[in-house]
Chain A
Amino acid sequence: MTETSNLHVAVVGGGPGGYAAAFLAADLGLKVTLIDPEANPGGVCLYRGCIPSKALLHVAKLIDESRHAKNWGIEYADPKIDMSRLRSWKDGVVKKLTGGLGILSKQRKVEYIQGRAAFENSNTLRISKAGGSDENLTFDRIILATGSRPAIIPSLKLDSPRVMDSTSALDLSEIPGTLLVIGGGYIGLELGTVYAALGSKVSVVEMLTGLLPGADRDLVLPLHKRIEKSFNSILLNTTVAAMKEESTGIRVTFDGPEVKEREKVFDKVLVSVGRKPNSEIPGLDKTQVQVGPRGFIQVNKQLQTNDPAIYAIGDAVGEPMLAHKASHEGRTAVEAIAGHKVAFEPAAIPAVVFTDPEIAWCGLTETQAQKENREIKVAKFPWAASGRAMTLDRTEGMTKLILDPQTERVLGVGIVGAGAGELIAEGVLAVEMAALAKDIALTIHPHPTLSETVMEAAEVFFGTSTDIYRPKKS
């Protein structure tokens, strides 16, 4: 093992992958420099992703529930929305978090440079600092945590304030009367939910046959049903052929077998067709780093690139583009640099869609098992049988376990319903610990909570669920 204690590591990019890597490196006693264009670490996740969107989704849920309260005998007047206060609250959350990260990095004596990095060679970065000066710095190891950015479809590119990407949508400059969301993925649906709650008539267009491609259909169905009501329309199997700006809005031309209305004008359009890795780092050609055909930086399981001095993590190296995957990768990369025998080999990476209801899954999905022709058993517990769901008036949810038929081991968990994102953590733990259905069934879950649905799903597998009578299939 090489002497690792004196290494100087640079982390390029201060997102959840980058700062997690930088902080761990500092904790392990390495010298660390963290480079990011923002004043504080945080990256897309904190500045224009997970955190601000969740703040807004919380508001959306509140508005939605207040409307829903009518059914419970409580009626509120229509909410008065003070956009600037909403914005400043959201921005406050972001500021508090990113400022906290700035302090954490100072406490750890991480050298934080606000600027942009370009490669001079495998070990040297030319850093253009925010102040305008340039500096060449040499490091023993460099971790690229450059993240991703919203993908754009050039043919639909329209330089207009009416066309937003996720970043500008989160700025919340106004509430449009009508909004078209292009792309039925999680970003489009989450932001669509926010705007719908704030009063926009939201339409979503997805070129595939269902929302949230990749997720199991039975998980998507309750969501689909609910947003059918809250959204203006859901256009599936439909593509956007053209967009044109007019004085009143954006004229969008649709294409597809089920299109009834070929053209429609929207006040605003949100393009959320995925994200693109930031791998066009200046000077990368001076290193041995290789970039794959889809723009992902190629790494091995230690997150090391083709260039032995350079590691890469997070969105820049591959799917899923999720903050928690990036942080885990960042920590793995640092441990590898520190000489530990580690590998990024999780059994489950949870995915959560923060719509209402939420959808969350981890490990093996039914869709994937089908694709791989893998034999599985599925145990489902409908929330209609959950007392807690009933008290929340949210019985559309469902919890399911994907099990190995021989060992009865939990291979995957899928949940749809209110708070699914919190519930999935138990599923991740079950998969990572190689828990058996019986382990879950025999674990006492608190009553009355939604977490019981996980235990009950396991009971369903054995045909012994308290709240469901379903004889075990022989």
Chain B
Amino acid sequence: MTEFKLPELGENIDQGDLVRLMVSLGASVTEGQPVMELETDKAVVEVPSSVTGTVKEIRVKEGQKVKVGQVIFTVENGAGAKVKAVEPQAGAAKTPAETPAPVPKAAAQPATKARPAAASPAPPAPVAAGATDFRLPELGENIDQGDLVRLMISPGSKVSEGQPVMELETDKAVVEVPSSVTGTVKEIQVKEGQKVKVGQVIFTLEGAASAQPEKVKHAPVEHISEQHEARLSLQAAIQAEGKTPAQVFLPDQPRPSAPKAFAMPEQLGKVAGTEHRAPAPAAPHVRRLAREIGVDIYDVKGTGPGGRISEDDVKACAKSLLTSVAAAAQSAQGRPFAQPALPDFTKFGKVERVSMRGVRRKTAHHLWEAWTTIPHVTQQDKADITELEQLRARFAPKAQEAGGKMTVTAIGLKVCASALKVFPQFNASIDMAKEEILYKQYINIGVAVDTDRGLLVPVLHDVDKKNIVELAAELTQLSKKARDKKLTPSEMEGGTFTITNLGGVGGTGFSPIVNFPEVAILGLSRSSMEPVWMNGKFEPRQVLPLSLSYDHRLIDGADAARFLRWIAEAFEQPFLLSVQG
């Protein structure tokens, strides 16, 4: 018998949520065959098997968090199977305790039926039979919500476990979310276009009555005081008489009714779990105030004598909670996103308010961050690409053969890669905290792609090591993926420089914003025929406008001018590339 364990998935990825299992008991798997879909905080990945044989036992469930090294399934007839040498981690098979869903301080989420609101950690996404509703499962670390792009079910439709029921757009990727429940959809509680949070009810199932009652409930507790002792002594007496309390007292049987799942609002559940806390040093009305504004009095630091908590302490705590919550919400997405209050536009006419969707939201935050962090300067230049255009036409069929398109951008990739080698400060990042410059020993160039979802920047890796035809093919492929929403987050990571080409649209120049933490970006505008003074006369030449925005903290104006001139010349004389690049 051979075990298949979750292999290493990449740096800093030590676990993921099992989105879909593609094998079942008794199925035969071969090495390399995809066996599961795992959602890490970076992307949804298909994990191929490293073993061959018949699946004997599956040790994980969909919706569960799976750690690297954890056993996924075991196979028999493992002959010839190559077991990947993954060190079994101590206790790795133990699912880590789910991080409790963030408890909103105020009752941000209305209580919903069947929501166990015990103070115990939130249980994992409900599993199959017992569940009466389907909630958005955890999608990965730091992803706590998404925009519902498409619902694939309607009331009355049947769903089964594993069936994709919705498309959700998170900050970067669109993911299909499979159901973790089986049954008939009764009521759908979300709408397309709406923001959906992890743990939010997506739909409820019919026939909930047959569902098993949830075990975990709010934890009502008896109030026991020191006078409890008196009762205990009575019971002791009864026992001393050789009887059980049951014989003595008429039994108070818990009612045999099978209670339907019932939920306390989160707050109550929280309160119920904190039964035995010593009283907080605060006057009753201060404690009441804390309750009213949703502050746990035990979180408040009292500034009065003996740590006594005043009204002001509670308010200060609430304030700092609010700011830290807001800051946390923003730091998850970027920097504080403060802006002056908006005027009431409706005074001037009709206004439609639309919530920012995933990519737009991310773009907004990211560009704000880049713009407020980087002192930008844009350098303009022009490249005579008359000769290049001839070459391009000549090599176009070759690129076509390789499945690509010989575009100015593709050539630009190569040009920039060569330039970055000559000017390494353009292939760097700044660590202001440590006051250090990080020179990258690799050249990965991102290309801005305009899609109907917004701006996406797939990254081509090791551009300096690839020829133009290869780059053209890769770029074509990535652009298509971006437009088809197939781009994974990992395909958008690791860039050291960015090219953005608006030539397809038009314009004679623009100021691109540096893609932080990179330090420079090259903008290409539409090339056009211009009269160029050559050899004593004006000649019609095809001229490409170049706009280089750079981080002035690291790059001096003269260097930028030199860098851009180098690029322009490389465009003008492609031969330079092979000589200097």
Contacts and interface: CB of A to CB of B under 8 A. Distances in A.
Interface of A: 151, 153-155, 183, 185, 207-208, 212-215, 239, 241, 273-274, 276-277, 279-280, 284-296, 298-302, 304-308, 317-321, 325, 340-349, 351, 363-365, 367-368, 404, 407-409, 411, 431-434, 436, 438-439
B237 A273 contact: yes
B282 A434 contact: yes
Interface in B189-238: 217-234, 236-238
B308 interface: yes
Which 9 pairs from chain A and chain B are nearest by CB?
A: A347-B279, A407-B306, A214-B229, A434-B281, A295-B252, A298-B220, A318-B223, A207-B237, A288-B259
A216 B157 CA distance: 66
Contact of B252 (A212, A280, A302, A320): A280
Given A208-B236, A300-B218, A304-B268, A404 B306 contact: yes
Given A300-B268, A368-B226, A407-B281, A293 B231 contact: no
Nearest to B223: A318
A155 B248 contact: yes
A306 B262 contact: yes
A201 to B, nearest CB: 24
A53 B498 CA distance: 88
Nearest to A274: B234
B260 interface: yes
B304 to A, nearest CB: 8
A318 B262 contact: no
B249 interface: yes
B249 A291 contact: no
B291 interface: yes
Nearest to A367: B226
Contacts of B336: none
Contact of B221 (A291, A300, A351, A411): A300
User: Per DSSP, are chain A's interface residues mostly helix, strand or loop, or mixed?
Assistant: loop
Counting contact residues on chain B (CB < 8 A from A), the size range is: 35 or more
Contacts of B240: 207, 239
Nearest to A296: B222
B191 to A, nearest CB: 22
Contacts of B241: 153, 155, 239, 241
A307 B278 CA distance: 28
B287 interface: yes
A295 B249 contact: yes
Given A293-B252, A341-B294, A436 B305 contact: yes
Contacts of B280: 347, 434
- Of A239, A289, A325, A341, chain B has the most CB atoms within 10 Å of the CB of A341
B248 A154 contact: yes
B227 to A, nearest CB: 4
B91 interface: no
Given A292-B222, A436-B305, A153 B238 contact: yes
Interface string B477-488: 000000000000
A463 B228 CA distance: 35
Contact of A349 (B225, B232, B275): B225
Interface string B248-259: 111011111101
Contacts of A293: 252, 254
B507 to A, nearest CB: 54
Contact of B222 (A298, A308, A438): A298
11 contacts: A213-B230, A214-B226, A214-B228, A285-B255, A290-B255, A300-B220, A306-B217, A319-B223, A320-B223, A346-B279, A434-B280
B309 A286 contact: no
B319 interface: no
Contacts of B221: 298-300
B307 interface: yes
A240 to B, nearest CB: 9
B220 A305 contact: yes
Contacts of B269: 300
B562 interface: no
Nearest to A312: B220
Contact of A291 (B254, B294, B305): B254
A348 B279 contact: yes
B281 A363 contact: no
Contacts of B243: 155
B306 A436 contact: yes
**Of listed A207, A302, A345, A432, residue having the most chain B CB within 10 A:** A345
